[in-house]
Structure 1
Amino acid sequence: MKLVIFALDGLFDTGLTVLLDTFATANELAVAQGFPAPPFEVRLVGVRSRIRTAHGLSTPVELASAVGHADWVVVPAPNVRQPERLVEALERRDMRAAMAYLRTWHAGGVGVAAACIGTFLLAEAGLLDNREATTTWSLAPFFRQRYPAVNLDDSRMVVASHRVVTAGSAMGHLDLALWLLRQTSPELATLVARFMLIDKRSSQAEYIIPDHLAHADPLVERFERWARNNLASGFSLQAAAAALAVGPRTLQRRTEAVLGKSPLAFFQDLRIERAQNLVSIGYDIETIASEVGYADSATLRTLLRRRLGRGVRELRAEMR
């Protein structure tokens, strides 16, 4: 597989090195396992002949204009976390040039992939329109606002859609690298994951911090405060809307626009977060169920397993 890593100034150092190290490890293990040659040819390219990372490390790269055939182009994340700064970065001349290259390569049949904030470059280039995608959960509300044509599911770790692949937050670069490895050899991908101690993570859901997302919108932030104060009482859309002095439809539309989910689903997220916290403290399951508004513990057990893939016993074991 011929891989091009498209490096731009100010990129997230860890994202770049994770990609390089994972494919280097794969090549080394493949040869040791009897492959006739390293399966991955990796090239580092850029708009200019040298790039400087967010931590100030300078490295030479090939010019993107010199790239011939490639199977995949991978975009590491820029090291930008605030929406205002990200908008400024996306307007940079080198970013705009990179988007033009990405559109041309994809139109020519090259697969395009990005992780974390790198997914914004694909969206800005129009490559995610009318496709399923994921992104870093922390900027999902901003992503939805800026790219309404994208079918975003920020709970997922990796989403593949017609030779365009997106991966989730920060260390999603690892998950993206493993996805690309599996396209060549699932066995090799498993071997690399074991050597590098990479856990399989199909979802970002359990890492999401609900109140961080809620702060992206004043009404949703108020709803989040109301929900936390009423976890033990249970959810009522009418009661929430009345307390916030808005109509139920307004609250429903706003949470779906900002969070990509209904008020009830967000309320359930807060229940899960609170339940996990109480599990870590050592509360018994019946008390926890009562604290988050369930009359019996069986319903809470079902919710935890459905959302997290683990029950109370597994959660307690992880926290020891």
Structure 2
Amino acid sequence: MRISVLAVDGVFDTGLAAVLDTFATANELAELQRMPSPRFEVHVVGVRKRVRTSLGLRVPVKAVSTLRRPDWIVVPALGTKMPEPLQEALERREAQDAAEQLRCWHAGGARIGAACIGGFLLAESGLLDGHEATTAWWLGPLFRQRYPGVRLDEQRMLVPSGRLVTAGAAMGHLELALWLVRQSSPALADMTARYLLVDTRPSQAPYMIPVHLAQADPLVQRFEGWARGRLREGFSLDAAAAAMHTSKRTLQRRIEAVLGKSPLSYFQDLRVERAVHLLRTSRQDLEAIAAEVGYADGVTLRTLLRRKLGRGVRELRRPGD
């Protein structure tokens, strides 16, 4: 399998290294175990002759024109993690040239995977329009605003869609690389994950911080503050809209546009966040915590935690609690 890793100036050091190390480890293990799996021929390519990582390390890259058409393109993240510098980076000529190169590769039949903020570069190409995707969870509001044609679900860790696949934040690079190895050999992917001490994660939800998402919009931020004071009492869209001095329809639309979910769903996220905090920092039993966050009983809360986070109460409590 021929893989080209597209690096642009300011590439995220950890992400680039994670991708390269995963394929290198898979190749070594396949040879050691005499597995019939095909080798991964990996090249780091760039649309510029010189590329440095976000920490200033020089990356040796090959020119796109010197290589045969790859089977897969991998787009690692940029090292800019916050909205304003990210938008500036995406407006640079290098980023736009990289998006154009992605279009050319895709038109030639190549498949493309992008991890974390690399998904923004892929979205810049327009190739993600009409597809499902994920990205770094805290940049979901910006992604929705910038690419309304993409069906974003930032809670998922990995989202294949047609000839494209996107992965979530930071260590999503490992998830993406292991997924690509698995396309050739599930056994080799499992062995590589064991050597790298990686547990695959289907969701980013346990890592999401609701208040960070709310800060993307003043109205959503006010709603978040109001909701936190009413977790025990329960949710009312009428009461929320009145407190925000807006209509129910406006509140509903704004929260869905920014967060990709309803006000009630976000209210439940806040309840889950509070319940997890209490599980980890107090010795209250589940029934008491359920009452604290507005649920009738512990069974309801237990079901919600499992559905939202994919974890049970014992997993969420700290060892020894």
The aligned amino acid for 1:291 is E
Q: CA deviation at 1:94?
A: 1.4
Aligned counterpart, 1:258: 258
CA gap of 1:40–1:319, structure 2 versus 1, over 3 A, is: farther
Partner AA of 1:294 in structure 2 = Y
Structure 2 CA distance, aligned partners of 1:309 and 1:162? 26
- What is residue 98 of structure 2 aligned with on the other side? 98
Alpha-carbon RMSD across the aligned residues, in angstroms, is: 1.3
Scaled by the length of structure 2, the TM-score of the pair is 0.97
Partner residue of 2:316? Answer: 315
Query: 2:307 is matched with which residue?
Result: 306
Map 1:220-231; keep pairs closer than 5 Å. Answer: 220-231=220-231
* 2:243 is the counterpart of 1:243: yes
1:67 Cα deviation from its structure 2 partner: 2.5
The amino acid of 1:285's aligned partner reads: L
Shift of 1:81: 1.7
1:31–1:38 Cα contact (<8 Å) kept: no
The worse-fitting range, judged by mean Cα deviation, of 255-264 and 82-91 is 82-91
Match of 2:177 in 1: 177
What is the alpha-carbon distance in structure 2 between the residues aligned to residue 59 and residue 119 of structure 1? 21
**C-alpha distance in 1 between matches for 2:18 and 2:302:** 36
Q: Per-residue deviation at 1:204?
A: 0.5
**Any idea what SS the aligned residue of 2:43 has?**
strand
Cα separation, 1, equivalents of 2:273 and 2:46:
41
Question: How many angstroms apart in 2 are the aligned matches of 1:182 and 1:31?
Answer: 16
Tell me which residue corresponds to 2:2.
2
Offset, 1:50:
2.6
- Identify the residue that residue 211 of structure 2 maps to in structure 1: 211
Q: Please tell me whether the aligned partners of residues 232 and 293 of structure 2 are also in contact (alpha carbons under 8 angstroms).
A: yes
CA contact (8 A) 2:38 2:184 kept: no
The answer to whether residue 158 in structure 2 is matched with residue 158 in structure 1 is yes
Alpha-carbon distance in 1 for matches of 2:184, 2:37: 13
Q: When the two structures are aligned, how many residues end up with a matched partner?
A: 320
C-alpha contact 1:280 1:319 (8 A) present in aligned 2: no
**TM-score scaled by structure 1?**
0.97
SS in 1 for 2:182: helix
5+ residue gaps in structure 2? none
The alpha carbon displacement at 1:189 in A equals: 0.5
Q: Deviations over 1:261-309 (max 9, x none)?
A: 0001101100110000000122211110111001211111111111122
User: 2:298: which partner in 1?
Assistant: 297
Question: What fraction of aligned residue pairs are identical, expressed as a percent?
Answer: 63
Stretches of structure 1 that go unaligned for 5 or more consecutive residues are none
How far, CA to CA, are the matches of 1:54 and 1:290 in structure 2? 46
For 1:274 and 1:231, the matched residues in 2 are separated by 9
Measured after TM superposition, the shift of residue 33 of structure 1 is: 1.1
The residue number in structure 2 matching 1:47 is: 47
Aligned residue in 1 for 2:80: 80
After superposing the two structures, state which structure 1 stretch, 278-287 or 14-23, moved more: 278-287
Change (3 A) 1:249 1:115: same
Shifted more, 34-43 versus 219-228: the winner is 34-43
Give, as a single letter, the amino acid of the residue that structure 2 aligns with 1:249: R
Task: Give 1:92 shift.
Answer: 1.4
